[in-house]
């Protein structure tokens, strides 16, 4: 399935190595997942802005896999400084060392030929 609408714009930015999220022109709130209408005020006009990359872990879990399948990894809900939440993972530390409230920094990474957003403990990564 090919992304359409605002999702297509989001992934097109990522494909160029440029992470962007929406910012409502009506109320100024940041929005993620990409939408056609602002969930805060109902406006339908957005700008695509670069987030700061500063964030905090809201929730985390460890997915257990055998070493030959790539080993354990974490799945985390990350609260961006802009006030939106994104699902991703924290890299650069053992998955079981990722904690709620941990300060993290976003960076772009390659996975299966696609650009994705991942996070590192604050001070270890760059956007």
What's the pLDDT at 124? 62
CB-based contact 22:35 (threshold 8 Å): yes
DSSP 92: S
CA gap 20, 43 in Å, rounded? 19
CA gap 127, 52 in Å, rounded? 8
Are 20 and 62 contained in the same domain?
no
Are 44 and 61 contained in the same domain?
no
In the chain (127 residues long), the average pLDDT of successive 10-residue segments reads 86 96 98 96 97 98 95 96 98 96 97 96 66
Q: Residue 77: give its domain's CATH number.
A: 2.40.50
Q: What is the pTM of this model?
A: 0.89
Task: State the residue for tokens 């992934």.
Answer: 11
Are 73 and 18 contained in the same domain?
no
Task: State the residue for tokens 């960076």.
Answer: 107
Are 27 and 86 contained in the same domain?
no
């Amino acid at each position: 399935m090919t992304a359409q609408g605002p999702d297509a714009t989001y992934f097109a930015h990522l494909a160029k190595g440029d992470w962007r999220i929406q910012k409502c022109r009506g109320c100024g709130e940041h929005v993620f997942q990409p939408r056609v209408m602002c969930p805060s005020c109902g406006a339908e006009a957005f700008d695509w802005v670069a987030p700061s990359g500063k964030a905090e872990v809201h929730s985390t879990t460890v997915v257990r896999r055998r070493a030959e399948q790539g080993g354990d990894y974490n799945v985390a809900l990350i609260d961006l400084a802009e006030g939106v939440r994104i699902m991703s993972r924290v890299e650069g530390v053992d998955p079981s060392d990722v904690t709620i409230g941990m300060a993290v920094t976003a960076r772009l990474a390659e996975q299966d030929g696609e650009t994705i957003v991942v996070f590192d403990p604050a001070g270890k990564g760059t956007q």
